[in-house]
Structure formats: C-alpha cells, structure tokens
Chains A and B, each alone.
Chain A
C-alpha cells in the first residue's frame, strides 16, 4: 500500500515514521516535501511526523499548517483520506483545523521525554482496532507543548462521540481530561502527542506502537 510522510524544514521524526510505515506495509513510504502542492497519486495513508517544523517559532505547528501541502491534505482529509499526526504532526493538524482544540505549553513548562502509559479509551477506532483485548500501551513522549486544550463543549462532544482514543495514565503535561490522542468525527484523521513510531522495535522503545499502524493500514 502506498503511504507518505510529509517533511517540513525541521521535521525530525520523518525517518522514524518512514521506518514504522515500511515495517508494517513492507513498502517504503513517499517522502513528500512541504512545498509540494499535491500528494503523489495513490497515497492511502499520510503521516505528519514529529519535530519542530519551523523551529516551533510563533506557535508549534502554526507555520507548517499554512504550507502548500497541508492545503491539499485538508481537501483530501475531507474526502476521507487517512491522516495521522504524531507530536508536532498533531500540533499541525489542530492548527490546520483538521482536529479540534490546541496544544499549549506543558503544565510543568519543561520539555518532557519519558515512556508514558496510555489507556486505549476507544478500541473500535480505525487506529486501535487491532489491539484486541489490550487496553494499556506504553509509548514514549518527547515534547514541550503537549498540553491539550479545548473548551468544555468540545471536550464533551469528543467524549460522547468516541473521538478520545487514548488517555494518559499519568498525565505528563496537563492535558484536559488526560487526553493523549483524538480523531475527527469521521475517524480518518488522528493525532496524538506520544510517539507510536518510536515503539516498533524491541531494541528501541518496545513494540506497543505496532498495533496502531497495523490497525489503520488494515482499515484501508
């Protein structure tokens, strides 16, 4: 299956994401430069990787969300293309309006890097269906601005519609209602601050992240 990883000037988890996609699909993903105005044809799943797209200046993900390729992504997302953003990619998706809410400075004001336990709160989603009975996974987090915010109405709606996919067992950043990962109403666009792509290898971060990639790939 053809997949793609978008690369912004200071993306730095693009390689990590590519390794994860290749591992699960068996095919190297297309690396798409942010200046491109359109995705190559036939792409079925897109990852917005972690990093500091534009140095995290102004607001994390803000400048990246205005890049030409994101414009195309917004159109295709509305037609059902599967898109996931991890860490900085999640920030880009909220800034682009593809996911509700915003990511603010961590409550502790410090960058935090550690393995974090997550509860799968919706195991029927396109991003978690393959986890089966597993309800708890550990992915690393590594971010400075991962404090998820949305107003109460939005949060209630997210919860009611099953759009909250992951919650932190020990909230590392102050996120509202311990939210770690959400999807849009249609379920094709997903974002989370933790890094499932850094949990696909027993020598590095464990293998808990594989289920997420398998779930979404299988659902397509």
Chain B
C-alpha cells in the first residue's frame, strides 16, 4: 500500500469503516482521501478510540466532586488529597493482545497504563491488576495465567513500581477471551499537573522514547473486532514491551516536568502517533504539521501509513516551550532516549504530514473528533433472574467439606502464586498489599503520615444475573473495601469489559451496568474520574460475562488510624455490622457446592451501605476495632476464614440469626462488615450502632487454632489454610 493506492470499497471495508462513515469523510474532505488519510480516519473512528457505541452512555456518569481536579477526558483522572498532593489514576484493558501473546500483551498493558499516569506529571506509586481467565481445566488457561502474571511482574518489577493488589477470577465464560485490566496510581503536585492540549503557533513538537517499528499496526481496530478462528492469522506484529526504556522515560519526563519547558504532553497509546497528535491538536484547537522523515525509525523503508498507525511502545509526544529545546534535548540524551523535533503547531486547524519532501496527508482535525460516529445502538436490558429463597436451596450435610471446597475453589483460593511474582514493596511505602489478603492496598505518600487506599472489584456473576444491580454492587464493593481500611473513598476509575455491542442484549448489559454504577456513585458522592471501555470480547458469537471492573481510590488522612484484616487477637469478639437475610441467589455456595449459576443477585441498598460504612470508618478512627473485613464472595464464613488466616488465629462463629444454616454462613447479603472488637469495646460498639440505626450483632469469638461454626463446621486453621493455598500451585505445576 502506498499513496497511489486506489481507495476501493473493499479497502474502506477492511479499515472497518461503514459506507456512511466513508461518505462523511468524502464530504468533509471534499475529495477522496489517500490511503494515509483513510488509515487515520479508520483508527480515530474505531470503537477503541472514538467510543462510538459507549460515548452517550458514559456521559451519564457522575464525574464531579469536591476533590476532583480532572475528570474523564484526559489521560487519567486527577483528585486532590490535600497538602498540595494530587493522585492521578486510571485503569485500562489489554485483553486481546494478552490472549494472543500473554507475556507481552500483559506487560505492554502495564506499560501503557503507567504512561497514561506519568504523562500527567505523576510518579507512578502503585499498580493493581484485575484478571479473568477461563476455567482452570481449559487447555489454554494454565499457559495464559503463566504468561500474563509473568508479564505483569516482568514489567512492573523492572520499572520499580509496586504491584500491590488485584483480583483474579476463573470462569468458562472467559475461555475464549481473557481479561487483563491494569490500574496505575501516581502521585503529583496538585499545581503541576500536565495536560494534552497543544497551544500556540509554531511551537516545536518533540518525539521521545523508543524508535517506531511496524508493531501492532491496526491494534486499535483489532481491539474493536470480535475474534474468530482466523484471528491468529490476522494478527499484526505483536508489540514487545521494554520496561527499561519506560523507566528511563519516566525519570526523563519527570525531570523535564520540573522545569517549565513542557506546554503539552501526550503518550502514544493505541493508534500511536495518529491519536496522540490529533488529540493534542484537537484539544488545543490548533493545527499540527509533522515531518515524518524526522521520526526515529527502527526499520527501513517505513511508509507514512505505517508510521502513523504503529503502536510501538514507550513513546511520547510533547509540545515544547520555544527556547527550551536545548534543555529538552539535554535531559533526554542524558537518559539515553531517542529524541527528535518532528514538527510544529500551526494555525490551520489541519493535520499535515510530509514524507520525502511530499505532502502525504492534509486533513482538517475538527471532523476527526467532532464527526466521530456517536451511535445510539439498540439495547434491551435483560430482566433480572428470579429470586431464589434460601429454603429452596439444598443444604449440605457436611459443612466441613463445603467449607473446604469453597475456600479452595478457584475464585476464593489464595492467589499467593500470583502476587509473590510481583514486587509489592519497592519504593518502600507499601503499608499493606495482597500479602495480608486484605480488602484494599495501602500505599503511603512518601515522607508523609498519610496514605492512599486502592481496591479493584467486580462480581461478574452478579452483573450477568442483573446488570443494573451488579453494576451497583461493583461500585459499592470498592467503596466498602476502602472503608475497611479506614479510608475516605474519593473516586473511581473503571474498565468496562463487554461483548459485541451490536447485539441489543449485550448493549443492554452495558447500559444497565452503567446505570447501576452511576446510581452508586451518586449515593456515595464517589465520582468516576477516568476509565476505559473494552467491547467485542466475544469468540464465535459467545460473549464474556459482563465485567465492569471498578478501581476505587481513597485517602487515609492519618496513618495512626487505619486497620487491616490482620489484627484480630485472642479473646476479641466478632461483631457483624449490617443485616443478614441469607441471600443465596447467584452465590458462591450455589455455584461451587450445587453447580448452579442462577438466581437474582443480592440487592444493594445504597443507604444501608453508606450508613454502615460510615459507621465502620468511625470505629476505625476511634480505634474501636482490631480487624475489619467486608463480607463479599462466600459470605460470613469466607470473611471469617480470611480474617483468621491473616491474623493466624482461630475463631468460633455463634448462631445469632434466624435463617437456615447455609444461608447464615454463605449468604452474600451486601453492606456487611465483620469486625474484631476488644472485650471492653463491645458494648459501646453495639449500642452506638443501635443509636445510628446500624444493625450490629455479636457473631463469634477469636481464639484457638480451629475454625468453628455452631452446628456446622469445625476444622483446623492450619489444615484449611493448606487447602486454601493449594489450588494455584497445583494448577500451575
């Protein structure tokens, strides 16, 4: 393909553009596009870059709040955490590339999300990962787990940013499409945040980082298409990550950012040079002219089309203050990075590209953004599944066995095999991480006595059963997890992973989930500040379970007051905050013990969530509790076992609730927290709860080396731990 290539309807279709879309291009240009121009329109209007199926729905989210400095629309969201500190964070998917090449796909996912964060002036301080694999027995699963985990660790460890937490699910619904969602949290000066809007006329545009090769051309369009059996053949050259260069890029960018040399900066992510230059120009309302001969190239004879669409990693684009060019060169050269001035801003409002002294592209920028398709796809929100009454659910005769099976089931079993491959401590500010099995990771703000808490959550089986309720639940669970460590929840990022939006039932899951999420955000004053949409996660017409992963961030203002689930002590009383009905629909018990995946998911009462959570946070601030854990997957029994493992001490659950035993132990009612309270605090904890309308009951005692529940199980802590630890090492051996 070259500039003389005749644009035929086939070529237009191969670029994923519809006939109507092509007509718009013809109209805006007043002529036929050449191949470079067509390629640029095609990536800019792909689902991945234009959000054409999702845009109108994302617009409903609560995005503003007292602490929001920058909401969605920039590379990442920015929140204020006092004292002039800002936290910048975002989550992103790298699902398709990770399925094709798990190590590099996951590694470059981590690299990409870090760039989104340091582009805005933040030093990355923590990484999280939310992973969904196919069923453990599927032939590909083991290899995918191995590669993805090694890739995440390989990249994050080398760059030197701790990977502090995450979540991992296994389900047959992901056999053909795994999900690899990575989140990065960075720390910046609130008054030195960098944005992508180019400004001025005649200002130099710098290219920094790795050279451009033919990697991942059309990655963005690929991420916007379903898989079929030929996908392996169609794949573009896989992008290979170079964490060493990323590390240099971080240090160099932060060094330059400490001067006043940068006017605007944008990383080259999906659709590389195309989307980065167009976004900078569009946001700033300026034109851009680039000389492609100046682009550092790794391979010979690269065409303009290839350079503009390449997704080579570890590259940045920036507009430099005139007169500061020398300083920029000096810093980038010190860090041994490729750097080149490749163009300048103009007042034409057009993107003009030159190559070999010829003009090879000349298009107006505004239409690329303004006229990007914004579809109103038909949708049908599925009806929620029928409510299942606990009394209609078979009760196990052997609770010891049921507990062991649940604690060693793929979703509940220990993920140690994964997180021991992640450096969780580098930077020396990790206060709590996966290591404790805790709800939220805690990362201290360097040199200060405050910290951020971070949690990622989604319960796909709930979203599948009822997108609206499931959407609410994802947001509520992160809020609850942040609360568990004593943080004030501030804002979320999300990664919305769904199937093919052209199918109304999938679009219905999407719309329903967003409505539920948004309602929770509003109830908690917990806005969405950044996010990412990944559609077409489907193989041969079978979609993944809808998976809107949510990453929440909160602030622990004073590290003298926080709690984890590790602190339960001999003699402590276990108190359950929140109401228990014994909800077994869509529960782990139903799935793991009875092999049934059905029933309406537990309802989320946002007022109760707020009331209970605010109370728990108060207990932590008043140092009334030694350990806190929320009840989620597997209910009270699982929460209790996890608390026992973390504190390395046994406990006894006593019957206090009137529902059937399996519903009491394994029901997944929301808005609940298990707290360990010292003897002399029990009365005040319960009476104050009452006064505040919060339900609180004594449900057991800490002590011994066994895990017991009245009339149900009695197993040794060590024995259960051994089985809890065994699942992944056995799968991976």
A residues lining the B interface (CB < 8 Å):
9-13, 15-16, 19, 50-52, 54-57, 110-114, 140, 142, 144, 195, 197-198, 201, 203-205
Interface residue B335 (Cβ < 8 Å from any Cβ of A): yes
Stretch in B106-114, B157-165, B373-381, B698-706 touching the partner: B157-165
- Docked complex: B339-364 residues within 8 A CB-CB of A: none
Interface size on B, residues (CB 8 A): 32
- Is there an interface contact between B158 and A204, defined as CB atoms closer than 8 Å? no
> Is A9's CB under 8 angstroms from B248's CB?
yes
A55-B243, A111-B153 as given contacts; A12 in contact with B160, CB under 8 Å? yes
Say whether B159 contacts A12, CB under 8 Å. Answer: yes
Whether B428 pairs with A55 at a CB distance below 8 angstroms is no
Contact A204 B444 (CB under 8 A): yes
Q: Decide: A203 near B431, CB < 8 A? Known: A12-B426, A16-B426, A113-B424.
A: yes
Out of A10, A57, A114, A205, name the residue touching B160 (CB < 8 Å). Answer: A10
Assembly CA distance A16 to B435 (angstroms)? 20
Contacts of A195 in B (CB 8 A): 425
From B335, B419, B420, B430, contact of A9 by CB (8 A): B335
- Does A142 contact B425, Cβ atoms closer than 8 Å? yes
Q: Report yes or no: B421 in contact with A111, Cβ–Cβ below 8 A.
A: yes
Separation in Å of the B567 CB from the closest CB of chain A?
Answer: 14
CB-CB under 8 A from B330, the residues of chain A are: none
Query: Are the CB atoms of A197 and B420 closer together than 8 Å?
Result: no
Residue ID in chain B nearest A55 by CB atoms: B244
- Per the bound structure, the CA–CA distance linking A140 and B430 in Å amounts to 12
Find out whether the CB atom of A52 lies under 8 angstroms from the CB atom of B244: yes
Given the complex of chains A and B, what is the CA–CA distance between A204 and B429 in angstroms?
6
Q: How far is the CA of A195 from the CA of B424 in the complex (A)?
A: 13
Q: Are B420 and A114 in contact (CB under 8 A)?
A: yes
CB neighbours (8 Å) of B419 from chain A are: 113
Q: Quick check: is B135 within 8 A (CB to CB) of the other chain?
A: no
Give CA–CA (A113, B336) in the complex, Å.
30
Q: A205's contact among B157, B158, B248, B425, by CB below 8 Å, is which?
A: B425
Q: Known contacts A15-B427, A203-B559; decide if A52 and B420 are in contact (CB<8 Å).
A: no
Residue of A nearest to B426 (CB): A12
* Residue among B154, B422, B428 making CB contact with A16, cutoff 8 Å: B428
What is the CA–CA distance of A111 and B243 in the complex, to the nearest angstrom?
Answer: 15
Contact B158 A52 (CB under 8 A): yes
Q: A9-B335, A9-B336 are in contact. Are A112 and B427 (CB under 8 A)?
A: no
Residues of A near B48 (CB, < 8 A) are none
Instruction: State the CA gap A181–B13 with chains docked (Å).
Output: 63
User: Once the chains bind, are B426 and A13 in contact (CB under 8 Å)?
Assistant: yes
Give 8 nearest A-B pairs by CB, closest first: A12-B160, A55-B244, A16-B428, A10-B247, A142-B423, A52-B158, A111-B421, A198-B425
Inter-chain CA distance A130–B518, complex, in Å, is 57
- Most chain A beta-carbon contacts within 10 A, residue among B150, B158, B424, B559: B158
Chain A min CB distance to B254 (Å): 13
**Are A13 and B242 in contact, with the CB atoms below 8 A?**
no
B422 touching A52, Cβ below 8 Å: no
Q: A55-B245, A142-B423, A142-B426 are in contact. List 20 more A-B contacts (CB 8 A).
A: A9-B248, A10-B160, A10-B243, A12-B159, A12-B247, A15-B427, A15-B428, A51-B160, A52-B243, A54-B244, A55-B243, A55-B244, A57-B244, A110-B150, A111-B157, A111-B421, A113-B157, A113-B422, A114-B435, A204-B444
Report the bound CA distance from A194 to B446 in whole Å: 22
Assess the A9–B244 pair: CB atoms within 8 A.
yes
Write the chain B residue with the least CB distance to A142.
B423
List 12 A-B residue pairs with CB atoms under 8 Å apart, sorted by A's residue number: A9-B248, A15-B427, A15-B428, A52-B157, A111-B150, A111-B422, A112-B420, A113-B420, A114-B435, A142-B425, A203-B431, A204-B444
Query: Are A10 and B428 within 8 A (Cβ)?
Result: no
User: Are A204 and B431 touching (Cβ within 8 A)?
Assistant: yes
Q: Inside 8 A of A12's CB, which chain B residues have their CB?
A: 158-160, 247, 426-427
User: Within the assembled complex, what's the spacing in Å between the Cα atoms of A204 and B419?
Assistant: 17
The answer to whether B425 and A9 touch across the interface, beta carbons within 8 angstroms, is: no
- List of A residues within 8 angstroms of B431 by Cβ: 203-204
A201 to B449, CA, bound (A): 12
A54 contacts which chain B residues (CB < 8 A)?
244
Q: Check B244–A204 contact: CB distance below 8 A.
A: no
Cross-chain contact B425 with A204 (CB below 8 angstroms): yes
**B160–A52 touching, CB < 8 Å:** yes
Q: Which of B141-163 contact A (CB under 8 A)?
A: 150, 153-154, 157-160
CA distance A52 to B155 in the complex (A): 11
B50 to chain A, nearest CB (A): 35
Q: Which residue of B lies closest to A53 (CB)?
A: B244
Q: How far is the CA of A142 from the CA of B428 in the complex (A)?
A: 12
Contact of A13 among B160, B243, B422, B559 (CB under 8 A): B160
Residue of A nearest to B159 (CB): A12
Considering the chains assembled together, what is the distance between the CA atoms of A111 and B156 in angstroms?
12
B444 touches A10 (CB 8 A): no
State which of B157, B247, B248 has its C-beta within 8 Å of the C-beta of A142.
B157
Residue among B154, B247, B559 facing the most chain A CB atoms (10 A cut-off): B247
Chain A min CB distance to B566 (Å): 13
The residue on A at minimum CB distance from B559 is A203
- Let me know if B420 and A55 touch, CB within 8 A: no
Cα separation A144 to B429 with both chains bound (whole Å): 21
Q: How far is the CA of A12 from the CA of B245 in the complex (A)?
A: 13
Q: Are B242 and A55 in contact (CB under 8 A)?
A: yes
Chain B residues contacting A13 (CB-CB under 8 Å) are 160, 426, 428
Instruction: Say yes or no: B428 contacts A197, CB within 8 Å.
Output: yes
Set B421, B424, B429: member contacting A110, Cβ < 8 A = B421
Q: How far is the CB of B471 from chain A (nearest CB, A)?
A: 34
**Minimum Cβ distance to chain B for residue A90 (Å):** 16
B247 touches A16 (CB 8 A): no
Task: List B545-581 residues whose CB lies under 8 Å from chain A.
Answer: 559
Q: Are B430's CB and A204's CB within 8 A?
A: yes
